[in-house]
C-alpha cells in the first residue's frame, strides 16, 4: 500500500506556454492531434520508459500519456513540478502510484469505455474458437496434417457462459453471447442490473460449477489477486474453458497449466500475464505454451484501430478539459469537480493539503486583496482539497501568488 508523500510548496504554474505533452507506448495519433490543436508541443514515443528514465523526461512536461507498460512510481513524480495530469490510455490505472499522484496534485484519467466492444468481441470469438478447437486444426493444416474430426467440437448454442465481473465489458459480452443462443450468468461483488436474460449468481463457486465457459473481467486489486487458483479451477466443470482478458494477476498460471495438462479443463484463452515484455522485440515464455486448445495472445483485447482511436480521443478530451477548465470528472484519484467557465473572469485552481483552516486562509487572501469571487467550489478527499475559484481578472495574479505561498499549498495555477 502506497503512503502519501506531500511535496514542498512550489511556485504557481501560469497559463503562459509553451506547454509540453509526453505520450508513450505508441498512443494513437488522435490524441496527439487533439493536444497539438490546443497548442501543445507533443513528443510521442513508441515504447515505455523505465521509472528512472521517466523521472528525467518528466522535467518540464505538463501532460503525460501512458498505456499499460509504463510504471509511474512516486520517485518519478518528485521532480515533475510542471506535471498537471496523467492520462492512462487504457482501462487500468494500477501502473500509476495513485496515492502519490494525488498528493502531488496530479489527477489521473483513464478510458473505461472506449475499448469495451473490442474486448467483448475478442472474448466471444475465443469462445467459438475453443469450443471448435479451431487453433489446433489450423496449426495441423499449416503443418501439412489433415485431421477432419468432430470429436470434442461443439456448438456454443445452449452452452452456459459465466462472467466474473459484470461491468461495461462483461455486460456487453453477455448481450452478444445471448444473440448466439448462449445462456448467460454472472458473478459480481456489487449488485448489477442484468441486461437481457442474464442471471446473477450469488457465489463464485456456483458460477464455476455451472458454466461451460468462464471469462474474467475484473480489475487488479488485492481482492482479485490470484482469485482463480487450483481450488477454483478444480470446481469448474470437467471440460470447461477459462478465458482471461482482464489482468494477468487474477489467474494462477501454474495452476491453470496443470488443470489443462490433466485434461480437467478443455481449453483456455489468455491475453494477459503476470509479467509481460516491455516491448515487441523482447522474448516471452509461459507455462501455457504448446498446450492443446490454448489460445495465447499478447495483451491485444483492446488493440483495434477503432478502440485505440476512441481511447486517444476520450483521454485527450479529459486531459484538455482539466487543462482548460480544471474539470476532474472521471479522474480515478481526485475530488470530482466540473464547473462552467464564467466569461470575463480568471479561474484559480488550487490543490492543497486537506487540513483545517485552509479555506479560511484562502478567503482571507481574497478579502485582503479586495477580490470579487464570482464562483467557488471546493471538493476534498482524505488527503487533499481541490478548490476551483472564479474571480476578477485584475486581481487574479496576486491572489494566485499569495495562495501558492501558503504552507498547505501543493499546486496552484490560473486558467484564463
- Dump pLDDT digits (tens) for 390-403: 999 999 999 999 99
Active-site positions?
247, 276, 299
Instruction: Extract the C-alpha cell encoding 237.
Output: 466443470
Report the domain count for the chain. Answer: 3
| End-of-domain residue from the set 266, 296, 326 | 296
Take residue 368 and report the three cell numbers written for it.
Answer: 485582503
Question: Kind of pairing, strands 40-44 and 19-23?
Answer: parallel
**Same structural domain for residues 329 and 348?**
no
Using only C-alpha atoms, the chain has a radius of gyration, in whole angstroms, of 25
Which residue has 491453470 as its cell numbers?
A: 256
Clarify whether residues 125 and 22 are in a common domain. no
Q: pTM (2 decimals)?
A: 0.82
Strands 213-216 and 241-244: parallel
C-alpha distance from residue 39 to each of 19, 25, 36, 194, 295 (Å): 7, 22, 5, 44, 44
Residues 176, 158 share a domain: yes
pLDDT tens figures, 148-206: 999 989 999 999 999 999 999 999 999 999 999 999 999 999 999 999 999 999 999 99
Judge if the upstream peptide bond of residue 18 is cis by omega within 30 degrees of 0: yes
Q: How far apart are CA 409 and CA 412, in angstroms?
A: 7
Shared-domain flag, residues 99 and 193: no
Are 318 and 340 part of one and the same domain? no
pLDDT tens track for 321-345: 999 999 999 999 999 999 999 999 9
pLDDT at 3: 58
Residue with C-alpha cell 494477468?
248
Structural domain including 342 reads: 335-415
Strand-pairing partners, residue 347, are 390, 415
Give the per-residue pLDDT at 1.
46
Question: Pick from 273, 264, 261, 245: which is nearest to 125 by CA?
Answer: 245
Q: Same domain for 124 and 30? A: no
Place of cell 528514465: 53
End residue of a domain, out of 296, 324, 346: 296
Contact 332, 110 (CB under 8 A): yes
Positions of the chain with pLDDT lower than 70, given as ranges: 1-17
Residues 209 and 251 in one domain: yes
Amino acid at each position: 500500500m502506497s503512503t502519501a508523500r506531500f511535496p514542498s510548496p512550489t511556485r504557481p504554474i501560469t497559463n503562459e506556454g509553451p506547454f509540453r505533452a509526453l505520450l508513450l507506448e505508441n498512443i494513437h495519433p488522435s490524441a496527439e492531434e487533439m493536444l497539438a490543436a490546443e497548442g501543445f508541443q507533443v513528443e510521442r514515443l513508441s515504447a515505455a520508459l523505465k521509472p528512472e528514465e521517466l523521472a528525467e523526461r518528466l522535467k518540464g512536461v505538463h501532460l503525460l500519456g501512458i498505456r499499460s507498460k509504463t510504471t509511474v512510481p512516486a520517485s518519478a513524480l518528485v521532480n515533475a513540478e510542471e506535471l498537471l495530469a496523467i492520462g492512462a490510455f487504457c482501462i487500468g490505472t494500477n501502473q500509476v502510484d495513485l496515492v502519490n499522484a494525488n498528493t502531488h496534485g496530479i489527477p489521473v484519467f483513464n478510458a473505461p469505455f472506449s475499448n469495451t466492444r473490442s474486448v467483448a468481441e475478442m472474448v466471444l470469438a475465443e469462445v467459438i474458437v475453443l469450443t471448435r478447437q479451431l487453433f489446433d486444426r489450423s496449426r495441423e493444416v499449416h503443418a501439412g496434417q489433415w485431421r477432419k474430426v468432430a470429436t470434442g467440437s461443439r456448438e456454443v448454442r445452449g452452452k452456459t457462459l459465466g462472467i466474473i465481473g459484470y461491468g461495461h465489458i462483461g455486460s456487453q459480452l453477455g448481450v452478444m453471447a445471448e444473440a448466439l443462443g448462449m445462456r448467460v450468468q454472472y458473478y459480481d461483488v456489487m449488485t448489477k442490473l442484468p441486461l437481457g436474460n442474464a442471471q446473477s449468481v450469488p457465489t463464485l463457486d456456483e458460477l464455476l460449477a455451472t458454466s461451460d465457459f468462464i471469462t474474467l473481467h475484473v480489475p487488479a486489486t488485492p481482492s482479485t489477486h490470484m482469485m482463480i487458483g487450483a481450488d477454483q479451477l478444480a470446481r469448474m466443470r470437467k471440460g470447461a474453458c477459462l478465458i482471461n482478458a482482464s489482468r494477468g494477476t487474477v489467474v494462477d498460471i501454474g495452476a491453470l497449466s496443470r488443470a489443462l495438462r490433466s485434461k480437467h479443463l478443455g481449453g483456455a484463452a489468455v491475453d494477459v500475464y503476470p509479467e509481460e515484455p516491455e516491448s515487441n522485440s523482447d522474448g516471452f515464455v509461459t507455462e501455457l505454451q504448446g498446450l492443446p486448445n490454448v489460445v495465447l495472445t499478447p495483451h491485444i483485447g483492446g488493440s483495434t484501430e477503432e478502440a485505440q482511436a476512441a481511447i486517444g480521443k476520450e483521454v485527450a478530451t479529459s486531459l484538455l478539459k482539466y487543462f482548460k477548465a480544471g474539470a476532474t470528472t472521471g479522474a480515478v484519484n481526485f475530488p470530482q469537480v466540473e464547473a462552467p467557465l464564467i466569461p470575463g473572469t480568471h479561474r484559480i485552481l488550487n490543490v492543497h493539503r486537506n487540513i483545517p483552516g485552509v479555506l479560511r486562509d484562502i478567503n482571507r487572501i481574497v478579502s485582503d486583496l479586495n477580490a470579487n469571487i464570482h464562483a467557488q467550489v471546493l471538493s476534498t478527499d482524505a488527503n487533499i482539497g481541490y478548490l476551483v475559484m472564479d474571480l476578477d481578472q485584475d486581481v487574479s495574479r496576486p491572489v494566485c501568488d499569495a495562495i501558492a505561498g501558503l504552507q498547505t499549498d501543493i499546486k496552484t495555477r490560473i486558467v484564463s
